[in-house]
A and B are shown apart, each in its own frame.
Chain A
Amino acid sequence: MTRHLLALALFAALFAWHSQAEYYGFELLAEIAVFAILAMSLDLLAGYGGMVSLGHAALFGLGAYLYSWLGSDMVGLSAPLAILGAAFGTGVIALAVGAVAVRVEGIFFIMITLGFGQMGHEFFFQNKALGGDDGLFGIQRLDLSGIGIDLSDPGSFALAALVSAALVYVLLAWVLATPFGAVLKGLHANPNRLRALGLRVLTYRAAAFAFSGTVAGFAGSISAQHTQFITPHLLNWTTSGEVLIMVILGGLGTLVGPVVGAVVLVLLRHELSSITDYWGAIMGGFLILVVLSRQNGLVGLVERLLPGRRG
């Protein structure tokens, strides 16, 4: 409950910022929203399900490419259908990848997802029809002019991205409160016991991977609309690492933590990089401090400071 209130306060702050922001702020907010969605989807998998993936960016990038491809002249779908196609298409691919990857655990799972991710990266890097390493540009945004919203306006787009992130939070919070969410936590805590109790462990793990991938693909479709320009770098494992840092920095298995992590990382990256070229080192130091605090990320720190914290 505390965490939902924290999320409410955080999203309220982001919307408040949006009401004051100008172009630069809108760009930051849209980026925060995209990474918040992506990081929340990774938290579902890694923080709750215990499956730490280094291939998550590949699903994110796949969603971005699927959206761009489906919406381009090559296929010619309308933007809403392209968004759905990107999310569920990524989900289907994730189910296929997950069916293999979830057979192993721990470090092996990290390696197998890294392997799949780099395969995806290489595919788009080499595929000339999809722009190769130059990527794709001129990507269309969703047209909401029918209801009086012009998404080509940076402010409107940032607002739509923030609303999407808030809706994803609500969706994931709901799913975590269902029997499926309970299974996800149980799979992390004690998969062998769940197996002995009759649960088809691999099926559920693959389903969690697919669901998480669907949300990551959705994040990719928003990212493609935001920058209107995508490259294979989106799929690279370094992007996965960055998203993992957001989740850990904010707090694994807290759902609001990844949103906090996305805000902090995007802000630090932009603010510090305008001051010093060594911003990565400062960010690294910050991450080390948070981890050394032995709390569950920034959310863990906040909960420790709040009276009446649970658990």
Chain B
Amino acid sequence: MLEAVGLCKRFGALDATHNVSLRLEAGARHAIIGPNGAGKTTLFNLLAGEIRPDSGRILLDGREVTRASPDARARAGLGRSFQRNNLFESETVALNLALADIARRGTGWQVWRRLASDRAARARAEAVAAQVGLGDDLASPVASLSYGARRQLEVALALMGEPKVLLLDEPTAGMSPEETGRMLGLIDSLPAGLAVLIVEHDMDLVFAHAHRITVLNYGEVLFEGTPDEVRASALVQDTYLGEDAEAC
């Protein structure tokens, strides 16, 4: 579904991403972990199209999207969430979801009918809202939602486009334990055929929910394997997991 081959990106003297390859099949639950500064965010931005690689290729569902803009990738089936909530703050949940629907389907040219009269669009919004646990909040302004609910809406916007590949940027960042639990339930309930790539700090989440893990260090792939293989890897233990244990 999503394939990156030999991605490289330099910022001046910094080798932010160096020869990174990864491959997500349909239904994948793939996590990217690594210490701060390992290049997780750069890789995420390369995949989402926010920045262009110096070299390497990105294929989405077999189509080359290496140079495609973020909006073109979204239309080709790539959904993404943001690490910091990136919503339409002064609008309602329903309008947030409606905007996601319009953006994905290109229905923004419809000036001959009222937004409120598009029942099919409203039904799609209601379904996704229910899926992420915001079914009762459609009429609420985003500003009145709790932090956790906003994180759920963040994922809901990405899901509105019925993506083939979903990139989640630290979906549980800043969440309370209950909120984290809800988000994990949401991630577990994602469609089985959807390929999901998660960048995450929360190791419990990663080891419990990912099927494959890529460990980044200094912009390079240090290790890739199943959670058990990652846990068993001495290399990963030394450079990352061990360091994490002694942090703080």
Indicate whether B119 reaches chain A with its CB closer than 8 angstroms: no
With A182-B102, A196-B80, A197-B160 as contacts: A177 and B115 at CB distance below 8 Å: yes
Given A185-B91, A186-B103, A197-B74, 11 other A-B residues pairs in contact with their CB atoms under 8 A:
A174-B111, A178-B113, A179-B113, A180-B108, A180-B109, A183-B103, A193-B87, A196-B74, A198-B74, A198-B75, A311-B141
Residues of A that sit less than 8 Å from B by CB: 174-175, 177-183, 185-186, 189-190, 192-201, 204, 207, 311
A248 to chain B, nearest CB (A): 18
Q: Are A177 and B88 in contact (CB under 8 A)?
A: no
Q: Are B104 and A198 in contact (CB under 8 A)?
A: yes
A178 / chain B contacts, CB cutoff of 8 Å: 110-115
Listed from nearest, the 5 A-B pairs whose CB atoms lie closest are: A198-B74, A197-B103, A199-B103, A183-B108, A198-B75
Closest residue of A by beta carbon distance from B163: A198
Query: What is the CA–CA distance of A189 and B143 in the complex, to the nearest angstrom?
Result: 13
A220 to chain B, nearest CB (A): 22
Tell me the residues in window 108-164 of chain B with beta carbons closer than 8 Å to chain A beta carbons. 108-116, 118, 141, 157-158, 160-161
A201 to chain B, nearest CB (A): 7
Tell me the residues in window 156-184 of chain B with beta carbons closer than 8 Å to chain A beta carbons. 157-158, 160-161
With A182-B95, A199-B71, A201-B71 as contacts: A194 and B113 at CB distance below 8 Å: no
Closest residue of B by beta carbon distance from A186: B99
Residues of B that sit less than 8 Å from A by CB: 48, 69-71, 74-75, 80, 82, 86-91, 95, 98-100, 102-104, 106-116, 118, 141, 157-158, 160-161
A192 / chain B contacts, CB cutoff of 8 Å: 86
With most chain A CB atoms within 10 A of its CB, the pick from B87, B89, B100 is B100
A35 to chain B, nearest CB (A): 25
5 residue pairs of the A-B complex, CB under 8 angstroms, read A177-B115, A189-B88, A190-B89, A197-B104, A200-B71
Contact of A204 among B108, B114, B118, B158 (CB under 8 A): B108
B118 / chain A contacts, CB cutoff of 8 Å: 179
Q: Are B90 and A189 in contact (CB under 8 A)?
A: yes
Query: What is the CA–CA distance of A198 and B101 in the complex, to the nearest angstrom?
Result: 9
Query: What is the CA–CA distance of A180 and B157 in the complex, to the nearest angstrom?
Result: 18
Query: What is the CA–CA distance of A175 and B86 in the complex, to the nearest angstrom?
Result: 26
B161 / chain A contacts, CB cutoff of 8 Å: 197-198
A180 / chain B contacts, CB cutoff of 8 Å: 108-111
Q: Are B75 and A177 in contact (CB under 8 A)?
A: no
A195 / chain B contacts, CB cutoff of 8 Å: 69-71, 74
Q: Are A197 and B99 in contact (CB under 8 A)?
A: yes
Q: Are B91 and A189 in contact (CB under 8 A)?
A: yes
B80 / chain A contacts, CB cutoff of 8 Å: 196
B129 to chain A, nearest CB (A): 16
Q: Are B102 and A183 in contact (CB under 8 A)?
A: yes
Query: What is the CA–CA distance of A156 and B112 in the complex, to the nearest angstrom?
Result: 31
A204 / chain B contacts, CB cutoff of 8 Å: 108
Q: Are B107 and A190 in contact (CB under 8 A)?
A: no
Query: What is the CA–CA distance of A178 and B95 in the complex, to the nearest angstrom?
Result: 12
Q: Are B108 and A193 in contact (CB under 8 A)?
A: no
Closest residue of B by beta carbon distance from A193: B86
Query: What is the CA–CA distance of A197 and B109 in the complex, to the nearest angstrom?
Result: 16
A175 / chain B contacts, CB cutoff of 8 Å: 111
B71 / chain A contacts, CB cutoff of 8 Å: 194-201
Query: What is the CA–CA distance of A201 and B95 in the complex, to the nearest angstrom?
Result: 18
Query: What is the CA–CA distance of A311 and B106 in the complex, to the nearest angstrom?
Result: 29
Q: Are B157 and A182 in contact (CB under 8 A)?
A: no
A199 / chain B contacts, CB cutoff of 8 Å: 71, 102-103, 108
B99 / chain A contacts, CB cutoff of 8 Å: 182-183, 186, 194, 197
With A199-B71, A204-B108 as contacts: A182 and B87 at CB distance below 8 Å: no
Q: Are A177 and B114 in contact (CB under 8 A)?
A: yes
A194 / chain B contacts, CB cutoff of 8 Å: 71, 99, 103
Q: Are A190 and B86 in contact (CB under 8 A)?
A: yes
A128 to chain B, nearest CB (A): 41
Q: Are A177 and B109 in contact (CB under 8 A)?
A: no
A201 / chain B contacts, CB cutoff of 8 Å: 71
Closest residue of B by beta carbon distance from A182: B115
Q: Are A190 and B108 in contact (CB under 8 A)?
A: no
A196 / chain B contacts, CB cutoff of 8 Å: 48, 70-71, 74, 80, 82, 86
Query: What is the CA–CA distance of A303 and B158 in the complex, to the nearest angstrom?
Result: 35
Query: What is the CA–CA distance of A200 and B109 in the complex, to the nearest angstrom?
Result: 11
A102 to chain B, nearest CB (A): 15
B90 / chain A contacts, CB cutoff of 8 Å: 189
Contact of A190 among B48, B69, B88, B114 (CB under 8 A): B88
Query: What is the CA–CA distance of A196 and B48 in the complex, to the nearest angstrom?
Result: 8
Q: Are B157 and A193 in contact (CB under 8 A)?
A: yes
Query: What is the CA–CA distance of A175 and B108 in the complex, to the nearest angstrom?
Result: 11
Query: What is the CA–CA distance of A195 and B71 in the complex, to the nearest angstrom?
Result: 5
With A180-B110, A197-B160 as contacts: A190 and B87 at CB distance below 8 Å: yes
Query: What is the CA–CA distance of A212 and B201 in the complex, to the nearest angstrom?
Result: 47
Closest residue of B by beta carbon distance from A211: B111
